[in-house]
Chains A and B, each alone.
Chain A
Amino acid sequence: MSKRFEQLLVPRPEGLYCPPGDFFIDPVRPVDRALITHGHADHARAGHHHVLATTQTLDIMAIRYGAEHAGQTQAAALGEDITIGDVALRFHPAGHVLGSAQIAVTWKGMKIVASGDYKPRPDPTCAPFEPVACDVFITEATFGLPVFRHPDAAAEVQRLLASVRRNPDRAHLIGAYSLGKAQRVIRLLRDGGYQAPIFIHGALKKLCDYYQQQGIDLGDLQPATVARGGKGDFAGAVVLGPPSAFGEPWVRRFPEPLISFASGWMQIRQRARQRGVELPLVISDHADWDELTATINTVAPEEVWVTHGREEALVRWCALNGRRARPLHMVGYEDENE
């Protein structure tokens, strides 16, 4: 692989480091200057001295970590030119969650795009992904295996609605991560014609409120946290909560709960079965295999760097298709937000 590009960005234990600009992208531990692609906890951590991110990502970090999460913050508008030293920067939408961005870094005629997590397909809750021509495209590989081909999310939501109609006596408990997935599922339910109140676990409230403030209409949301009168109260209800809550006493208030989980992992039946998921919904905020490979072809970079996920298979695909690629073996970016 070309050492030339490593003058501009190089993997370090803390994260991707830019020597000429002296900053990190999505560092996993506190640093002096951090550029953050999006608000998921494995990319956006608290405790940096200076943070540069989109306004929405900064807002989300403040909601999650408190206003004092960083010494100093600076908002980057999408498409705006920013410079740090003699490094030119530009944020482009990544289509992953609200506020998510790819970061293009240009220096001495080299351009590298760190895409963070991304999803090319339409999502009513965030700005659409935009392919950016570059010399090096840094891609995730969360679903970097050819078995991952996500079906149409709207059709998945229709399966959920069919199940709700079929089981009027049961509460549908949908596991969805609190940033992005939950709001997208709710928005898809509304688009799918479901107008009844949707009950949400307390852990989702702040971010749902924030999405609503940002103009994403999620309809009537009600808390599923307070204990209510009888058990029958939630019969036929649609309830969203973080998957971790499903092992907690919280779920006991629901009648005959039907456990569902909205995640790209749900494509693997054994995974769904092991987690006790009765209704797996294959809804992902990441690019699937076809989208990863199509994106690489569209961006057509000189080199592909693969950060996290199933790097090996994507690197293999690049080799088979005559593209230079290398795995970065970045540690600390887990799939917990899928």
Chain B
Amino acid sequence: MKRFADLLETLILTPSRNGKLRLMIDFFRSVPDPERGYALAALTRELDIPSVKPALLRQLVTTRIDEELFRLSYDYVGDLGETVALIWPDAADHPARSIPHGRNDMPSLTEVVTQLQAASRREGPALIEGWLDRLDPSGRYALTKLVTGGFRIGLSARLAKQALAGFGNVPVHEIEELWHGLDIPYESLFAWLEGFAEKPVSAALAPFRPVMLSHPLEEGDFAKLNPEDFVAEWKWDGIRVQASLDRGIKRLYSRTGDDISPAFPDLVDALAFEGTIDGELLIARPAGVGAEQSVTIGTFSDLQQRLNRKKLLPRHLEDHPAFLRVYDLLFHAGEDLRDLPFEARRSRLEMHAGDFDPTRFDLSPLIPFDSWEDLAALRAEPPLPIIEGVMIKRRQAPYLAGRPRGEWFKWKRDPFLIDAVLMYAQRGHGKRSGFYSDYTFGVWREEAGHRELVPVGKAYFGFTDEELKAIDKFVRNNTVERFGPVRSVRADATKGLVLEVAFEGLNRSTRHKSGLAMRFPRISRLRWDKPPAEADTLEALEVLLASDNGAD
């Protein structure tokens, strides 16, 4: 537990992605099986242990410490697990002066996990109490986070898999492909990554197949690409998923191989096609009789209503039915089609289009075009707001894992641009220590003749190093107030910095004062020339929201 607790602690405090990868790789290198495997399972949230309600922790801790003192402490710390970890009295009667280094009776993570899994509901609390007595504060912290099921360390399962890839020096898609067929604590995986054993063979049904990704199309590409070698499709603004039915087992995966079946039971239930398909998850329901399209597609923000829900209620399924727009076929009835050219896979897919439940699935149509100019015109006038550009795929391309060059291209529509006013700036980390590099910007809201700036987004990239220096200087010279690492800067009609912000779309949001949330905002230009009074208004954004999200 000590090593795992140390890992958690350093991961929490390490902002950089590479730093996190290094920490995990070091951990996998230096911690033996099965301890490292249980840690991996915990970090990737694959661990299935009977969870403990926060109320139980609170109950346990108040048998040791006055309730009022606990309440005051919790108010101050703000995190239940951390409060419990810090406040839990050391087992010794006398006040311990130091963290008991070198105590050898600390439980291992393996012991904690295996005993909890074997324990009955009634035994759980006593086990936890015993471990809290044996652990030091950072071990207690790891334990409370483990049993309440939330580390909040800014680490995705994907990053953990990348660390494994780095540890074993193998491509990450090989790990992703194996992942769902492996058993905790992953001893066969580690043995393979360390070169002691053959690559494990996944025996799982409906495993994840690493997806093929595209490159953004660049200006110079057209000259090199012959339109006759390519087909085009619309680029849908949903989420890329893979659906699989394999001898009765049904799975829905994200593009990084996370099993997201539980979040979309409506779609998974409707899956009746033996094989693995690649497509875009959207929200859509059958259109009425006589409608131009067979389904009515919802917006990306409709889709967000279905994402990251702790609890799925019948009304979520009812109001926002999941739908899959299919564009590729990887396996069919046990046959691996990935080496076939795109065209051959596509015709196989079209041949079986009738096998899909039309209320839940359809085929993403190909868009006919003769020249790149043709396609450019189509891209400029997409028929539906849910379209965010076009995809260009080589007719002869096999289905290749990863992001192969020259096969698939995405040609997104131009981003939206607005002029916003810098309102707050926050200090950066690492290379950006000492620079104000995270910016909150706002637009004007008019109410009863009164104008005020309301924040509409935050961006921390898109500018050059030179521009960063210039903004930093502006922030320092125009600070109005400071709150910890954040400064509010002067921003009124006459004085302030106008930022041209590029973004991909707008959603409604209850989290922001403006009621709007931007997707992928970044700074595209600094408008030193523009007086803040001439920046955009919330009204203009509202209009954009309406057009971006169609008639919805």
Further contacts, 19 of them, CB under 8 A, given A152-B98, A252-B433, A269-B79: A146-B73, A147-B87, A155-B99, A155-B101, A246-B433, A246-B434, A267-B86, A268-B77, A268-B86, A270-B78, A275-B485, A276-B15, A276-B433, A276-B485, A278-B14, A278-B15, A290-B95, A310-B76, A316-B66
- Pull 24 A–B residue pairs with CB atoms less than 8 Å apart, ordered by A: A146-B87, A147-B77, A149-B96, A151-B98, A152-B97, A246-B433, A246-B434, A252-B433, A256-B431, A257-B430, A268-B77, A269-B13, A269-B82, A269-B141, A270-B77, A272-B13, A273-B13, A274-B485, A275-B484, A278-B15, A279-B13, A313-B73, A316-B66, A316-B68
Query: What separation, in Å, do the CA atoms of A299 and B73 have in the docked complex?
Result: 25
Query: What separation, in Å, do the CA atoms of A274 and B12 have in the docked complex?
Result: 11
B72 contacts A by Cβ under 8 Å: yes
Query: What separation, in Å, do the CA atoms of A279 and B6 have in the docked complex?
Result: 12
B544 contacts A by Cβ under 8 Å: no
B429 contacts A by Cβ under 8 Å: yes
Query: What separation, in Å, do the CA atoms of A256 and B433 have in the docked complex?
Result: 9
| Chain A residue, CB-CB nearest to B70 | A146
Query: What separation, in Å, do the CA atoms of A250 and B137 have in the docked complex?
Result: 35
Interface residues of B (CB under 8 A from A): 9, 12-15, 65-66, 68-70, 72-73, 76-79, 82-83, 86-87, 95-99, 101, 137, 141, 427, 429-431, 433-435, 472, 484-485
Q: Total A-B residue pairs with C-beta atoms closer than 8 Å?
A: 106
**Are B76 and A256 interface neighbours, CB within 8 A?**
no
Contacts A147-B73, A147-B86 hold; do A247 and B434 have CB atoms under 8 A apart?
A: yes
**Are A256 and B485 interface neighbours, CB within 8 A?**
no
**Are B13 and A251 interface neighbours, CB within 8 A?**
no
Query: What separation, in Å, do the CA atoms of A149 and B82 have in the docked complex?
Result: 13
Checking B9, B98, B433, B472 against A269 with a beta-carbon cut-off of 8 angstroms, the contacting residue is: B9
Q: Which residues of B contact A152 (CB under 8 A)?
A: 97-99
Q: Which residues of A contact B65 (CB under 8 A)?
A: 146
Most buried by B among A155, A273, A279, A320: A273
**Are B433 and A320 interface neighbours, CB within 8 A?**
no
Q: Which residues of B contact A247 (CB under 8 A)?
A: 427, 434, 485
Mark out the residues of chain A between 262 and 293 whose CB falls within 8 Å of any chain B CB in the assembled complex. Answer: 267-270, 272-280, 290-291, 293
In the assembled complex, the CB of B6 is this many whole angstroms from the nearest CB of chain A, namely 10
**Are A270 and B87 interface neighbours, CB within 8 A?**
no
In the assembled complex, the CB of B110 is this many whole angstroms from the nearest CB of chain A, namely 25
**Are A269 and B12 interface neighbours, CB within 8 A?**
yes
Q: Which residues of A contact B101 (CB under 8 A)?
A: 155
Contacts A121-B97, A279-B13 hold; do A149 and B485 have CB atoms under 8 A apart?
A: no
**Are B72 and A312 interface neighbours, CB within 8 A?**
yes
Q: Which residues of A contact B137 (CB under 8 A)?
A: 149
**Are A277 and B66 interface neighbours, CB within 8 A?**
no
A133 contacts B by Cβ under 8 Å: no
Checking B14, B69, B429, B433 against A313 with a beta-carbon cut-off of 8 angstroms, the contacting residue is: B69
| Chain B residue, CB-CB nearest to A155 | B98
Q: Which residues of B contact A276 (CB under 8 A)?
A: 15, 427, 429, 433, 485
Interface residues of A (CB under 8 A from B): 121, 145-149, 151-152, 155, 173, 246-252, 254, 256-257, 259, 267-270, 272-280, 290-291, 293-294, 310, 312-313, 316-317, 320
| Chain A residue, CB-CB nearest to B76 | A145
Q: Which residues of B contact A257 (CB under 8 A)?
A: 430, 433-434
Query: What separation, in Å, do the CA atoms of A272 and B77 have in the docked complex?
Result: 12
In the assembled complex, the CB of A169 is this many whole angstroms from the nearest CB of chain B, namely 12
**Are A252 and B76 interface neighbours, CB within 8 A?**
no
| Chain A residue, CB-CB nearest to B90 | A149
In the assembled complex, the CB of A306 is this many whole angstroms from the nearest CB of chain B, namely 13
| Chain B residue, CB-CB nearest to A249 | B434
Q: Which residues of B contact A310 (CB under 8 A)?
A: 72, 76
Contacts A246-B433, A278-B15 hold; do A316 and B69 have CB atoms under 8 A apart?
A: yes
| Chain B residue, CB-CB nearest to A145 | B73
**Are A147 and B430 interface neighbours, CB within 8 A?**
no
Query: What separation, in Å, do the CA atoms of A155 and B137 have in the docked complex?
Result: 15
Most buried by A among B15, B65, B72, B101: B72
Most buried by B among A247, A248, A250, A273: A247
In the assembled complex, the CB of A113 is this many whole angstroms from the nearest CB of chain B, namely 22
In the assembled complex, the CB of A313 is this many whole angstroms from the nearest CB of chain B, namely 5
Q: Which residues of B contact A274 (CB under 8 A)?
A: 484-485
Query: What separation, in Å, do the CA atoms of A168 and B97 have in the docked complex?
Result: 31
Q: Which residues of B contact A291 (CB under 8 A)?
A: 95
**Are A250 and B434 interface neighbours, CB within 8 A?**
yes
In the assembled complex, the CB of A73 is this many whole angstroms from the nearest CB of chain B, namely 35
Q: Which residues of A contact B72 (CB under 8 A)?
A: 145, 310, 312-313, 316
Q: Which residues of A contact B82 (CB under 8 A)?
A: 268-270
Query: What separation, in Å, do the CA atoms of A294 and B99 have in the docked complex?
Result: 18
Query: What separation, in Å, do the CA atoms of A312 and B472 have in the docked complex?
Result: 41
In the assembled complex, the CB of B496 is this many whole angstroms from the nearest CB of chain A, namely 21
Query: What separation, in Å, do the CA atoms of A63 and B491 have in the docked complex?
Result: 40
Q: Which residues of A contact B70 (CB under 8 A)?
A: 146
Most buried by A among B9, B13, B78, B87: B13
Query: What separation, in Å, do the CA atoms of A2 and B45 have in the docked complex?
Result: 58
Q: Which residues of A contact B14 (CB under 8 A)?
A: 278
| Chain B residue, CB-CB nearest to A288 | B95
In the assembled complex, the CB of B503 is this many whole angstroms from the nearest CB of chain A, namely 26
Query: What separation, in Å, do the CA atoms of A148 and B86 have in the docked complex?
Result: 7
Closest 4 pairs (CB-CB, A-B): A290-B95, A251-B434, A152-B98, A147-B86
**Are A252 and B69 interface neighbours, CB within 8 A?**
no
Q: Which residues of B contact A320 (CB under 8 A)?
A: 66
Checking A121, A248, A294, A316 against B434 with a beta-carbon cut-off of 8 angstroms, the contacting residue is: A248
Q: Which residues of B contact A173 (CB under 8 A)?
A: 433
**Are B69 and A277 interface neighbours, CB within 8 A?**
no
Q: Which residues of B contact A279 (CB under 8 A)?
A: 13
Q: Which residues of B contact A280 (CB under 8 A)?
A: 13
Query: What separation, in Å, do the CA atoms of A149 and B100 have in the docked complex?
Result: 12
Query: What separation, in Å, do the CA atoms of A254 and B101 have in the docked complex?
Result: 33
| Chain A residue, CB-CB nearest to B99 | A151
In the assembled complex, the CB of A268 is this many whole angstroms from the nearest CB of chain B, namely 6
Q: Which residues of A contact B430 (CB under 8 A)?
A: 256-257
Checking B12, B76, B427, B433 against A273 with a beta-carbon cut-off of 8 angstroms, the contacting residue is: B12
Query: What separation, in Å, do the CA atoms of A46 and B380 have in the docked complex?
Result: 70
Q: Which residues of A contact B427 (CB under 8 A)?
A: 247, 276
Q: Which residues of A contact B435 (CB under 8 A)?
A: 252
| Chain B residue, CB-CB nearest to A254 | B433
Q: Which residues of B contact A259 (CB under 8 A)?
A: 429, 433
| Chain B residue, CB-CB nearest to A252 | B434
Query: What separation, in Å, do the CA atoms of A264 and B303 have in the docked complex?
Result: 45
In the assembled complex, the CB of B291 is this many whole angstroms from the nearest CB of chain A, namely 51
Query: What separation, in Å, do the CA atoms of A248 and B15 have in the docked complex?
Result: 20
Most buried by A among B14, B99, B472: B99
Q: Which residues of A contact B12 (CB under 8 A)?
A: 269, 273
**Are A270 and B98 interface neighbours, CB within 8 A?**
no
Q: Which residues of B contact A246 (CB under 8 A)?
A: 433-434
Query: What separation, in Å, do the CA atoms of A270 and B69 have in the docked complex?
Result: 20
In the assembled complex, the CB of B500 is this many whole angstroms from the nearest CB of chain A, namely 26
Query: What separation, in Å, do the CA atoms of A290 and B86 have in the docked complex?
Result: 12
Query: What separation, in Å, do the CA atoms of A316 and B77 have in the docked complex?
Result: 18
Q: Which residues of B contact A151 (CB under 8 A)?
A: 98-99
In the assembled complex, the CB of A165 is this many whole angstroms from the nearest CB of chain B, namely 14
| Chain A residue, CB-CB nearest to B68 | A316
Q: Which residues of B contact A275 (CB under 8 A)?
A: 484-485
In the assembled complex, the CB of B355 is this many whole angstroms from the nearest CB of chain A, namely 51
**Are B76 and A147 interface neighbours, CB within 8 A?**
yes
Q: Which residues of A contact B434 (CB under 8 A)?
A: 246-252, 257
| Chain A residue, CB-CB nearest to B19 | A278
| Chain A residue, CB-CB nearest to B101 | A155
Contacts A147-B87, A247-B427, A316-B72 hold; do A270 and B66 have CB atoms under 8 A apart?
A: no
Q: Which residues of A contact B9 (CB under 8 A)?
A: 269
In the assembled complex, the CB of A241 is this many whole angstroms from the nearest CB of chain B, namely 11
Query: What separation, in Å, do the CA atoms of A254 and B79 have in the docked complex?
Result: 34
